[in-house]
Structure 1
Amino acid sequence: MVRTASGFRGTRVGATEGTGPKIQRDDHVGAPLPRIRVSYWCAKGHETRPVFVKLPDDQIPVVWDCRRCGGQATRGSADSALPDPVEDGYKSHLEYVKERRSSQDAEDVLAGALERLRARGLLADELLRDT
């Protein structure tokens, strides 16, 4: 059985008031749900502004992940002046790579990749000479 509409109202992007399964077809198209944009600031001063369906204030999240640095962002700009919180496990891709490989391993991988490029003729030796 294929359903044409979501069983949960307002969970789809672009959902409108009155959408969802109906027994009879109406010509009335639902009005857009009211939306609000909430500002969050991280400790580094980055602002993130996600859009939410208009909800009571206590149902809107108090913290949000910063889109630029991944840190915790809060709704009050005064809170953004607080020092960085204790590391909560967020790591960049580079940090994970550095955990698995030493700097010598990285040099070996780079040297091997450069040799393969030179062997294929894609990298000229003159470009890599030390000056």
Structure 2
Amino acid sequence: MADRALRGVGLGAKSFEDEQGIEFADRNQIGFDCPKGHHFEVTFALEAELPTEWECKKCGLMAVRSDGSVGEEKETKPQRTHWDMLRERRSIPELEEILDEQLEKLRDPGKP
């Protein structure tokens, strides 16, 4: 069994390709400040949409950009309830008819 063991470099641990002839994409480094005072930088592609918040690498809290950029407030829709979804599918007269049918079934258990 020992003679079948893989020896040397761990699989996937290192790449033996050199970086000659490789042209890296243009990049941006954006600084972030955490509420606990931690500062860190994250690298993004130049054409990437830059976030205004990023999770702090040290404590996990949401950090804001150091340059003071604030994102636009996203419009939030009110949460739809079961009643709202039901009203999209049925009218009040239809619901009253279904209620009457179900009440009739409960009043007379012998009827299917």
- TM-score bracket for this pair, using the shorter chain length: 0.3 to 0.5
In terms of fraction of residues, the more helix-rich structure is 1
Q: TM-score, normalised by structure 2?
A: 0.38
Q: TM-score, normalised by structure 1?
A: 0.33
In terms of fraction of residues, the more strand-rich structure is 2
